[in-house]
Amino acid sequence: DIQLTQSPSFLSASVGDRVTITCRASQGISSYLAWYQQKPGKAPKLLIYAASTLQSGVPSRFSGSGSGTEFTLTISSLQPEDFATYYCQQLNSYPFTFGPGTKVDIK
Amino acid sequence: QVQLQESGPGLVKPSQTLSLTCTVSGGSISSGGYYWSWIRQHPGKGLEWIGYIYYSGSTYYNPSLKSRVTISVDTSKNQFSLKLSSVTAADTAVYYCARVKYSSSVPDYWGQGTLVTVSS
């Protein structure tokens, strides 16, 4: 199975901050990577797929980049509703696997 | 707007079979273009892909669960189901059903999730 790691695992930030989360794959996955946001007690919400394609309805402050084994999710200006846990997922090969998550908390 | 809703027992005894159903509204399972998937999340932990089914009945299961998992579809009811046999406490999790875009393999719509606890 392809293993995904995320860094940092926890991030404390303020409203307005620029935030970057990194996802690394144990082997190359081209651009087959998605990002999700999850709030407590809720299902994950798709933010980005194909590494950099913004899902319809997702604010443009979210962006994704990368290919191969290293990917980033950037929030250009953190908003109060963005405090959540973020997961990456590889869709290059079965079984599709998720990263362990990055929790973004209020500083 | 597509909506998915999981239903089923919230408590299952060890060694028994966990059974959940996902009812889809706002769209037809038979329309094609999507896989219908189950994903679980252990309490306070990350996400695990269980498997998916196409409306035609073709399936994919995570090899780590393959010997115990069956996913089926009932197009007449616009539902798909999960059965997980021989459960243990390690199967305690929130179970989500999700619609997966065929073209990108990403789950774009999710149910709210249902907690299943395995305990005697």
| pLDDT tens by residue, A35-92 | 999 999 999 999 999 999 999 999 999 999 999 999 999 999 999 999 999 999 999 9
Q: Is A50 on the interface with B (CB under 8 A)?
A: yes
Contact B63 A44 (CB under 8 A): no
CA atoms of B111 and A48, how far apart (whole Å): 19
CA atoms of A22 and B106, how far apart (whole Å): 19
Contact B106 A46 (CB under 8 A): yes
pLDDT attached to residue B102:
87
Which residues in chain B have Cβ-Cβ distances shorter than 8 Å to A34?
104, 106
pLDDT over 90 (residue B103): no
Phi-psi label, residue A30: left if phi above 0, alpha if psi -120 to 50, beta otherwise: left
Chain A with chain B: Cβ pairs closer than 8 A: 46
| Minimal Cβ distance to B47: which of A42, A44, A55 | A44
CA atoms of B59 and B72, how far apart (whole Å): 8
- Report the pLDDT averaged over residues A9-18: 96
Nearest CA to B38 among B18, B25, B22, B58? B22
pLDDT attached to residue A106:
86
Nearest CA to B34 among B68, B85, B75? B75
When pLDDT is cut at 50, 70 and 90, the band that residue A3 belongs to is: very high
CA atoms of B65 and B50, how far apart (whole Å): 7
- Report the pLDDT averaged over residues B85-98: 97
pLDDT attached to residue A1:
93
CATH topology of domain A4-106: Immunoglobulin-like (2.60.40)
Which residues in chain B have Cβ-Cβ distances shorter than 8 Å to A50?
104
Number of C-alpha atoms within 13 angstroms, CB side, residue A62? 23
The DSSP symbol for B45 reads: S
pLDDT attached to residue B72:
96
CA atoms of A39 and A54, how far apart (whole Å): 19
Token digits of residue B114: 């249902």
pLDDT attached to residue B112:
97
Q: Are B19 and B81 in contact (CB under 8 A)?
A: yes
Q: Are B5 and B110 in contact (CB under 8 A)?
A: no
| Minimal Cβ distance to B106: which of A34, A42, A97 | A34
pLDDT attached to residue B79:
97
Nearest CA to A102 among A94, B98, A78, A91? A78
* Chain B residues touching chain A at CB-CB below 8 Å: 46-49, 60, 62-64, 96, 98, 104-108, 110-113
pLDDT attached to residue A107:
83
When pLDDT is cut at 50, 70 and 90, the band that residue A12 belongs to is: very high
Which residues in chain B have Cβ-Cβ distances shorter than 8 Å to A99?
46
Cα Dmax for chain B: 42
When pLDDT is cut at 50, 70 and 90, the band that residue B31 belongs to is: confident
pLDDT attached to residue A5:
98
pLDDT attached to residue B35:
94
